[in-house]
Amino acid sequence: MSEPVLPEGVERRSIDGNERLATRGEPVYGEPTDGEWRAWNPNRSKLGAMLELGMDTGLEGGDDETVLYLGAASGTTVSHVADFAGPTYAVEFAARPARDLLEAADSRPRLFPLLKDARKPESYAHVVESDVDVLIQDVATRGQARVALENKRFLAEDGRLLLAVKARSEDVTRDPGEIFAEVRDALSVADGYEILESERLEAYHADHLGIVARPR
């Protein structure tokens, strides 16, 4: 594994006797802490896994970095993002995890939960800025490439897409490698994305692919 490129506000620290990625913030999912620092568990976070694997996410951190996060669930990963980034819009469709997401946002003034469907970006277009720096997607649905393409409207020209592809959400019967190839092809249409890097996340998440891309 190569050394991860870490954004400002993310550090590698010794917590619980282990070297871990960490951010400053209130704990959300029972993760170990050391003072104001909370460990970022890559086994529970696809973005954390991408950083651990040394993928160049393009995340810089800081108050000026805006993020749109699709598939925020109960806030495990997006809470870490809001610890180091600026305004972070967190889209989650299911009501039950959204309640936990709201709790995670209580201590994070830069985290804005949206109970919306990532497949219908028009439903939150009036809230989300039109030039976010980073689009992070971790949704369990068919048509994950289509979701990324439809939400490209929010991404700045020099922005980044950080996509965690779940093969089993597309088709549980097919070879994940075939699905990953199809997703890459679907993203690479003329008005879509240029893929900068992709890597299997098997060390932390079975049948997942991490993709870093930028809009064409």
Tokens of 179: 């699905």
Reference 75, options 90, 96, 85; nearest CA is 90
- The reply, when asked if residue 140 is annotated as ligand binding, is yes
- The reply, when asked if residue 94 is annotated as ligand binding, is no
Tell me how many degrees the CA angle 52-58-59 measures, rounded to the nearest 5: 75
- The reply, when asked if residue 141 is annotated as ligand binding, is yes
- The reply, when asked if residue 117 is annotated as ligand binding, is yes
- The reply, when asked if residue 172 is annotated as ligand binding, is no
Crossing angle of helices 95-106 and 76-84, rounded to 10°: 30
- The reply, when asked if residue 173 is annotated as ligand binding, is no
| E strand residue ranges, the chain | 11-15, 18-24, 33-34, 37-39, 67-70, 88-92, 111-115, 132-137, 155-166, 193-200, 208-215
With beta carbons less than 8 A apart as the criterion, state whether 112 and 89 touch.
yes
- The reply, when asked if residue 128 is annotated as ligand binding, is no
Per DSSP, what are the bridge partners of residue 197? 212
- The reply, when asked if residue 180 is annotated as ligand binding, is no
Annotated binding-site ranges for S-adenosyl-L-methionine: 76-77, 92-93, 117-118, 138-141
Annotated binding-site ranges: 76-77, 92-93, 117-118, 138-141
